[in-house]
Chain A
Amino acid sequence: DTGVSQNPRHKITKRGQNVTFRCDPISEHNRLYWYRQTLGQGPEFLTYFQNEAQLEKSRLLSDRFSAERPKGSFSTLEIQRTEQGDSAMYLCASRGTGGTDTQYFGPGTRLTVL
């Protein structure tokens, strides 16, 4: 257990529905990352927060995707009008302010879009 928690762990939804995932990072970590992982691939970067500021977004993050970190603590990732291609594991990672780049991953939310 890295101390990063994600909810829900599994989500099954129908195409066209909206879904929201939550990530609670390690409490003293100010940096938070979202990644997406599909079968047989490594995690792909989606977006990055430092405190409440969203500093970088991947081109993978279409306009149907939005992420927030309103108080610089937990973060949410929302997918609107889900498509079957959105089916993947959504991973959250947090990182502290020290000199290391180590990112601690949460258990992920597995999304299945029917």
Chain B
Amino acid sequence: GQQVMQIPQYQHVQEGEDFTTYCNSSTTLSNIQWYKQRPGGHPVFLIQLVKSGEVKKQKRLTFQFGEAKKNSSLHITATQTTDVGTYFCAGCRVYGNKLVFGAGTILRVKS
């Protein structure tokens, strides 16, 4: 079945450093979504990418969707302590269907 791999599993950065997490799907996706989950919380939707090669920005966060629609990345510039949490990518193979989540990247920020 469809698998979504995410790396790294864990990253600990100094406040102000950049952070990137990568996501790879075993199958071509209809779209990919990114979620953030704070410790003890539930996943919160960040963004959805639909088009091949799409790049979207949200303040210090930059999201990319690969040309083949099988990989994606999330880059955070100049991390802050508020960025702490687990970042999940979730792939959707067919429009409107279930999401297949990666295992997440845990981000810790040291001030």
Interface size on A, residues (CB 8 A): 24
Q: Does B78 contact A (CB under 8 A)?
A: no
User: Besides the contacts A42-B6, A58-B98, what 5 more A-B pairs have beta carbons closer than 8 Å?
Assistant: A40-B104, A42-B90, A42-B103, A91-B43, A101-B48
Q: Are B103 and A106 in contact (CB under 8 A)?
A: no
Q: What residues make up the interface of A, taking CB atoms closer than 8 Å to B?
A: 2, 31, 33, 35, 40-45, 48, 56, 58, 91, 95, 100-108
- What 0/1 readout, one digit per residue, does chain B (73-95) give for beta carbons within 8 Å of chain A? 00000000000000010101001
User: What A residues does B88 contact at CB under 8 A?
Assistant: 42-43
Sample of 5 A–B contacts (CB below 8 Å): A42-B90, A44-B101, A91-B42, A102-B48, A105-B45
Interface residues on B, range: 20 to 34
Q: Are B101 and A106 in contact (CB under 8 A)?
A: no
Q: Are B31 and A101 in contact (CB under 8 A)?
A: yes
The 4 closest A-B pairs by CB, nearest first: A42-B101, A45-B98, A105-B42, A105-B43
Q: Are A43 and B101 in contact (CB under 8 A)?
A: yes
Q: Does B58 contact A (CB under 8 A)?
A: no
- Assembled-state Cα–Cα distance A105/B90 (Å): 13
User: What B residues does A40 contact at CB under 8 A?
Assistant: 103-104
Q: Are B44 and A105 in contact (CB under 8 A)?
A: yes
Q: Are A43 and B43 in contact (CB under 8 A)?
A: yes
